[in-house]
């Protein structure tokens, strides 16, 4: 079989370092022949991207803070000028204030709730709208979610609410973009030790529970996520849209 993503322009948002899920997906898409375009949040992430992509050829990377409408508009303007067409988009971005990811969910402030929803859910709606304009040959958009959207994970708190909004946004976006042959899906990852999981209380216990109780008896890897992302970004998933695909060693199916 030929490479699954050759000739496809794919925008990857959310690489922070080599542990980032977005980086796992970027590597898998690169192996399948995709032309990768990256966004980064700040200078530190830009330097990290330069190092990570050193053997991938020319780096196409643009700054984008998704809390800024101007950044988002500028980003897609530049992609339109430099690439014309977009075939894929990976949204792997989430943020909540650290004080809202511990202790009491009910103590979430109005501002903390707004920030989590803005960066972790609304940003997907905004980038879908802009990306769709450039997906003139059809396309595939994916985002990353977590089972804390449907079940209570102590400490995940306002992020669980934001992920529920994100998953619902995926369904509405999929409905609107279907007639343009643009598919929108989310990939629900099991726990992975990234910077976004650092500092989570009892994280190694959580990893241990998945290893012990999941059908596959192991935790998922960046490669597992990368391969499913390739499936969702490629024509292999041509009939799939609006879905939440679990890549969690099957853990979500367990009752006990």
Which member of 146, 156, 246, 251 binds ligand NAD (CB under 6 A)? 146
Give 187's strand partners: 144, 245
Q: Does 249 bind ligand NAD (CB under 6 A)?
A: no
Q: Which of 177, 169, 2 is nearest to 91 (CA)?
A: 169
Regarding 160 and contact with ligand IMJ (CB under 6 A), the answer is no
Residue 101 interacts with ligand IMJ (CB under 6 A): yes or no: yes
Phi, psi of 5 (to 5 degrees): -125, 20
156 given a catalytic annotation: yes
- Strand, helix or coil for residue 175: helix
Residue 254 token pair: 């367990």
Q: What are phi and psi for residue 180, nearest 5 degrees?
A: -95, 10
Shortest distance, CB of residue 145 to ligand NAD, whole angstroms? Answer: 6
60, 65, 113, 125: which one binds ligand NAD (CB under 6 A): 65
CB 173, CB 125: distance < 8 Å:
yes
By CB neighbour count within 10 A (0-12 exposed, 13-18 middle, 19+ buried), where does 241 fall? Answer: buried
SS3 category, 155: coil
Residues 9, 140, 169, 196: which binds ligand NAD (CB under 6 A)? 196
Complex with ligand IMJ: residue 38 or 156, whichever CB lies closer: 156
Q: Which of 125, 150, 200, 207 binds ligand IMJ (CB under 6 A)?
A: 200
Nearest to 29 by CA among 136, 169, 125, 142: 142
Q: Tell me if residue 122 is catalytic.
A: no
Site pattern 147..186 for ligand NAD (x: CB under 6 A): ----------------------------------------
List of residues contacting ligand IMJ (CB under 6 A): 94-96, 98, 101, 146, 153, 155-156, 159, 191, 196-197, 200, 206
């Amino acid at each position: 079989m030929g490479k699954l993503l050759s000739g496809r322009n794919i925008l990857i948002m959310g690489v922070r370092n080599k542990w980032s899920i977005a980086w796992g997906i970027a590597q898998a898409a690169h192996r399948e022949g995709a032309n990768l375009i990256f966004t980064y949040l700040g200078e530190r992430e830009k330097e990290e991207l330069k190092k990570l992509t050193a053997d991938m050829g020319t780096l196409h990377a643009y700054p984008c803070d998704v809390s800024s409408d101007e950044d988002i508009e500028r980003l897609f303007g530049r992609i339109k000028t430099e690439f014309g067409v977009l075939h894929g988009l990976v949204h792997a971005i989430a943020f909540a204030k650290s004080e809202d990811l511990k202790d009491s969910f009910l103590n979430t402030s109005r501002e903390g709730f707004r920030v989590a929803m803005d960066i972790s859910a609304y940003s997907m709606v905004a980038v879908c709208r802009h990306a769709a304009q450039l997906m003139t040959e059809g396309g595939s958009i994916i985002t990353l979610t977590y089972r804390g959207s449907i079940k209570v994970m102590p400490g995940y708190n306002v992020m669980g609410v934001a992920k529920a909004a994100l998953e619902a946004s995926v369904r509405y976006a999929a409905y609107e973009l279907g007639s343009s042959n643009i598919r929108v899906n989310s990939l629900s990852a099991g726990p992975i030790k990234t910077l976004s999981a650092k500092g989570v209380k009892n994280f190694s216990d959580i990893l241990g529970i998945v290893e012990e109780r999941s059908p596959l008896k192991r935790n998922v890897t960046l490669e597992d996520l990368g391969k499913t992302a390739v499936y969702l970004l490629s024509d292999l998933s041509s009939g799939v849209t609006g879905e939440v695909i679990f890549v969690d060693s099957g853990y979500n199916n367990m009752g006990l």
